Amino acid sequence: MMLFTLKDSPIDTLAFNQMLQADAAGACAIFEGRVRNRNEGRDVERLEYEAWNKMAQREGVRIIAQAVKRFGLERGFCVHRTGMLAVGEVAVWVGVSAPHRDEAFAACRYIIDRVKAEVPIWKKEYYTDGEAEWVNCHRCAVHTDSADSSAARYARQVCLPEVGTEGQQRLADSRVLVVGAGGLGSPALMYLAAAGVGHITVCDRDTVEVSNLHRQILFDTQGVGKKKTRLALQRLEALNPAVELVAVDQPLTAANVEKLFARHDLVLDCTDNFAIRFLLNDAAVLTSTPLIAASLYQYEGQLQLYDPSDKGACLRCLWREPPAPGLLGNCATAGVLGPVAGVFGALQAVEALKFLLGFPESLGRNMLLFDLRSYRARLVETRPDADCLVCGHATPLHTLYADASSESVEVDLATLPAHQRKEFTIVDIRERLETDSDPLNELIHVNIPAEMLLNATDVLDTGQRYLLFCGIGYRSRILAELLRQRGHGNIYSQRGGIAGLRTGT
Ligand SMILES: [Zn+2]
């Protein structure tokens, strides 16, 4: 017996009553919704229910399962009619059994309210005067109190010829992984949830900081200090309860990323971290998972789609060489205007919906470069590199990341014994402007700005261990990870940077 059943013939309520029997159940509550002969002043002759079967089934099961968990039910079922019904017939039957009556009543009420609000079933009333009307649609357009109905929720996009009910069902059946719930991830996640993408996995390890709030619109002041995934799930659940949401707050590594990708139809790279960006790219190529990546720099950004069926360029085809000067900056160091992140997160959502709906127009092999100061936008065609380590040679992840994962890239000098400290050559990778105004007087060191170090790795002695320092340990970690990916296993980053060294944290 299914928890939620759609039935196109009369409901045998006695048979369903039998199923509520459970020895631990001290109370059963049953609700029967019936077709009545009048509605809003008009004489009703009969009713017709139409459902999006697959989606209705899934939503119904979800609601019952939630009720069982929430109220500690022994049993819980709902049966909903479809097709034509006469006056007096049972249109919907809800039955629950629980240890006590309070839970039974509350759960029964909860189930029927949520089924009415969230399951995509439409009601057409036929009146004695010969007219007929789709009741829920009309009502939803007029009354905000029933705006939760799926039909009304997606009405403005379903009426697009490229979407329609079929497209809406495609979105409901889609599974999207969004890595990063920050400036890009916030709008992308909200638009995907609002559009009715059926399953969304949110991956982020951070807690909300006050400096995030100017661009990370999923969060508010009260959320500072709390886990981003938890808050994101709360916000998205409130936005659209029909979406199945999963949070991942483990770090993504070469060991777990492929498994995670395999469970999704599409991945959005909403991170601002070069090391993760490469990992996502490599996993997308090796698992043939489409990937939509965006990145930001101050007032501009870029958007790229990796579609395995199109055999276009991957990130590694473009950035085998060191990133161009300036691109190592992230929001923390380079700065960004909040809505610039918003625009690119929204563009990722647009491209994602187009992709899931199978639009013929897509970014394809082009990279979009968009400068929001001048509003100059360019599409640059990217070319796959036959020699690319991942898309050209399918180098497995464990080979690509063997060096990077062999030893932690971060160390804290203060916690090391003296003989180990001496082994490190200290490198301050900050820019000249920073080192002039705030020199690292505490340690004997050399100054090699990040870009210079990336472009001249031959200065690195393979027999030597290097410990990189920057302001807060962010740039140095990314740089160390990049250098390790390129074979320099002897590079480390000071955890917390100079700030950490000085405060002893
Ligand atoms: Zn490639």
Query: Could you read off the pLDDT of 486-501 as tens digits, one per residue?
Result: 777 788 999 999 998 8
Binning the chain into helix, strand and coil, the percentages to the nearest 5 are 40, 25, 35
Residue 90: predicted pLDDT: 95
pLDDT at residue 137 is higher than 60: no
Compute, in angstroms, the gap from residue 62 CA to the centroid of ligand 1: 41
Compute, in angstroms, the gap from residue 294 CA to the centroid of ligand 1: 17
Residue 50 in any domain: the answer is yes
DSSP helix/strand/coil, 75? strand
Compute, in angstroms, the gap from residue 443 CA to the centroid of ligand 1: 41
Q: What is the pLDDT of residues 315-359, one digit of tens each?
A: 989 876 535 434 455 555 668 899 999 999 999 999 999 999 999
Are 238 and 232 contacting, i.e. CB atoms less than 8 angstroms apart? Answer: no
Contact partners, residue 187, CB within 8 Å, separation at least 6: 217, 341, 342, 345, 346, 349
How sure is the predictor about 274, in pLDDT bands with cuts at 50, 70 and 90?
Answer: confident
Residue 497 in any domain: the answer is yes
Mean pLDDT check: name the lowest of 148-162, 300-314, 378-392.
Answer: 148-162
Whether residue 104 sits in one domain with residue 38: yes
Compute, in angstroms, the gap from residue 452 CA to the centroid of ligand 1: 25
Rounded to whole angstroms, the Cα distance separating 73 from 100 reads 9
User: Tokens at residue 430, please?
Assistant: 């900050």
Compute, in angstroms, the gap from residue 289 CA to the centroid of ligand 1: 14
Give the end of a domain, one of 90, 120, 153: 153
E strand or H helix at 71, and its extent? helix 53-71
- Please give the average per-residue pLDDT across 173-177, as a whole number: 96
Whether residue 230 sits in one domain with residue 145: no
Residue 18 in any domain: the answer is yes
Mean pLDDT check: name the lowest of 46-55, 156-165, 399-408.
Answer: 399-408
Q: What residues pack around ion ligand 1 (CB closer than 5 A)?
A: 314, 316-317, 388, 391
Whether residue 58 sits in one domain with residue 171: no
Mean pLDDT check: name the lowest of 245-254, 412-421, 448-457.
Answer: 412-421
Angle at 124 between CA 118 and CA 125, to 5 degrees: 125
Residue 158 in any domain: the answer is no
Look-up of token digits 């009619």: 81
CA 332 to chain centre: 22
How sure is the predictor about 270, in pLDDT bands with cuts at 50, 70 and 90?
Answer: very high
Whether residue 252 sits in one domain with residue 133: no
Compute, in angstroms, the gap from residue 470 CA to the centroid of ligand 1: 31
Residue 140: predicted pLDDT: 37
Residue 243 in any domain: the answer is yes
pLDDT at residue 252 is higher than 90: no
Residue 328 in any domain: the answer is yes
Residue 151: predicted pLDDT: 80
Compute, in angstroms, the gap from residue 449 CA to the centroid of ligand 1: 28
Percent of the chain with pLDDT over 70: 92
Compute, in angstroms, the gap from residue 489 CA to the centroid of ligand 1: 23
Contact partners, residue 470, CB within 8 Å, separation at least 6: 428, 429, 430, 450, 476, 479, 497, 498
pLDDT, the chain, mean: 87
Compute, in angstroms, the gap from residue 393 CA to the centroid of ligand 1: 9
How sure is the predictor about 136, in pLDDT bands with cuts at 50, 70 and 90?
Answer: low
Give the end of a domain, one of 124, 153, 182: 153
Angle at 469 between CA 466 and CA 473, to 5 degrees: 120
Compute, in angstroms, the gap from residue 123 CA to the centroid of ligand 1: 52
CA-to-CA separations, 41 to 88, 105, 186, in angstroms, rounded: 18, 30, 46
pLDDT at residue 223 is higher than 90: yes
How sure is the predictor about 138, in pLDDT bands with cuts at 50, 70 and 90?
Answer: very low
Residue 32: predicted pLDDT: 95
| Bridge partner residues of 175 (DSSP) | 199
Rounded to whole angstroms, the Cα distance separating 289 from 307 reads 7
Whether residue 374 sits in one domain with residue 311: yes
Q: What is the pLDDT of residues 409-427, one digit of tens each?
A: 888 888 887 877 888 899 9
How sure is the predictor about 282, in pLDDT bands with cuts at 50, 70 and 90?
Answer: very high
Compute, in angstroms, the gap from residue 257 CA to the centroid of ligand 1: 18
Are 429 and 453 contacting, i.e. CB atoms less than 8 angstroms apart? Answer: yes
Residue 329: predicted pLDDT: 53
Compute, in angstroms, the gap from residue 480 CA to the centroid of ligand 1: 22
Whether residue 464 sits in one domain with residue 337: no
pLDDT at residue 191 is higher than 90: yes
Compute, in angstroms, the gap from residue 249 CA to the centroid of ligand 1: 28
pLDDT at residue 222 is higher than 50: yes
Compute, in angstroms, the gap from residue 293 CA to the centroid of ligand 1: 14
pLDDT at residue 121 is higher than 70: yes
pLDDT at residue 1 is higher than 90: no
Compute, in angstroms, the gap from residue 389 CA to the centroid of ligand 1: 7
pLDDT at residue 505 is higher than 90: no
Alpha-helical (H) ranges within 309-458 are 315-318, 331-334, 338-357, 397-400, 402-406, 418-421, 432-437, 450-455
Residue 330: predicted pLDDT: 56
Domains: count for the chain: 3
pLDDT at residue 81 is higher than 80: yes
Rounded to whole angstroms, the Cα distance separating 163 from 354 reads 9
Compute, in angstroms, the gap from residue 143 CA to the centroid of ligand 1: 52
Whether residue 278 sits in one domain with residue 142: no
11: nearest Cα among 91, 130, 112: 91
Are 468 and 476 contacting, i.e. CB atoms less than 8 angstroms apart? Answer: yes
- What is the residue range of 326's domain? 164-395
Whether residue 362 sits in one domain with residue 248: yes
The CATH number of whichever domain residue 256 belongs to comes to 3.40.50.720
At residue 40, φ and ψ (nearest 5 deg) are: 50, 50
Mean pLDDT check: name the lowest of 153-167, 284-298, 320-334.
Answer: 320-334
The CATH number of whichever domain residue 419 belongs to comes to 3.40.250.10
Compute, in angstroms, the gap from residue 388 CA to the centroid of ligand 1: 5
Residue 296: predicted pLDDT: 92
| Bridge partner residues of 5 (DSSP) | 79
DSSP helix/strand/coil, 367? strand
User: Tokens at residue 79, please?
Assistant: 């049966």
Residue 326: predicted pLDDT: 44
- Please give the average per-residue pLDDT across 126-136, as a whole number: 80
CA-to-CA separations, 279 to 164, 251, 256, in angstroms, rounded: 36, 12, 11
Residue 119 in any domain: the answer is yes
Whether residue 462 sits in one domain with residue 432: yes
E strand or H helix at 123, and its extent? strand 121-127
DSSP helix/strand/coil, 432? helix
Residue 303: predicted pLDDT: 97
Residue 402 in any domain: the answer is no
The CATH number of whichever domain residue 18 belongs to comes to 3.90.1170.40
- Please give the average per-residue pLDDT across 124-133, as a whole number: 85
Compute, in angstroms, the gap from residue 483 CA to the centroid of ligand 1: 19
- Please give the average per-residue pLDDT across 475-484, as a whole number: 89
Q: At what angle do helices 228-239 and 185-194 cross, to 10 degrees?
A: 30
Whether residue 378 sits in one domain with residue 424: no
Compute, in angstroms, the gap from residue 102 CA to the centroid of ligand 1: 60
Percent of the chain with pLDDT over 90: 50
Compute, in angstroms, the gap from residue 394 CA to the centroid of ligand 1: 9
pLDDT at residue 403 is higher than 60: no
Find which of 14-23, 45-54, 280-289 is predicted with most confidence, using mean pLDDT: 280-289
Compute, in angstroms, the gap from residue 391 CA to the centroid of ligand 1: 4
Residue 333: predicted pLDDT: 63
Residue 9: predicted pLDDT: 93
Give the end of a domain, one of 153, 185, 208: 153
Whether residue 120 sits in one domain with residue 56: yes
Compute, in angstroms, the gap from residue 317 CA to the centroid of ligand 1: 4
Are 63 and 69 contacting, i.e. CB atoms less than 8 angstroms apart? Answer: no
- Please give the average per-residue pLDDT across 97-102, as a whole number: 90
The pTM assigned to this predicted structure is 0.56
Whether residue 59 sits in one domain with residue 21: yes
- Please give the average per-residue pLDDT across 211-240, as a whole number: 94
